[in-house]
Amino acid sequence: MPSLNDNGSNQLQHDHAIDYISEHYHVQIAIIRTLYESELNELLLNARIKSFLTILTIRHVKEILYKNNYINPH
């Protein structure tokens, strides 16, 4: 299974996305990192165009946070 370091994407971009989600929604960074890596790996399995993976991964993590009551929908 690929990690953030193996996927050929911009590591710094992923780190910023993880930090943003954690700070914006006040959820522990370890939880966000685990969710983010899992969702990114799922998206990488079938991704043909990888330039939007960060945006899609952020969206998926936010949906998981909503569904698991970590955050309230706006």
Report pLDDT for 9. Answer: 47
Residue with the bigger pLDDT between 45 and 70: it is 45
Q: How far does CA 45 lie from the centroid of its chain?
A: 15
Can you give the residue ranges of every domain in the chain?
11-67
CA separation (Å) from 2 to 51, 57, 67, 74?
17, 15, 25, 33
**Are the beta carbons of 36 and 21 closer than 8 angstroms?**
yes
Report pLDDT for 70. Answer: 84
pLDDT digit string, tens, across residues 13-69 = 999 999 999 999 999 999 999 999 999 999 999 989 888 999 999 999 999 999 998
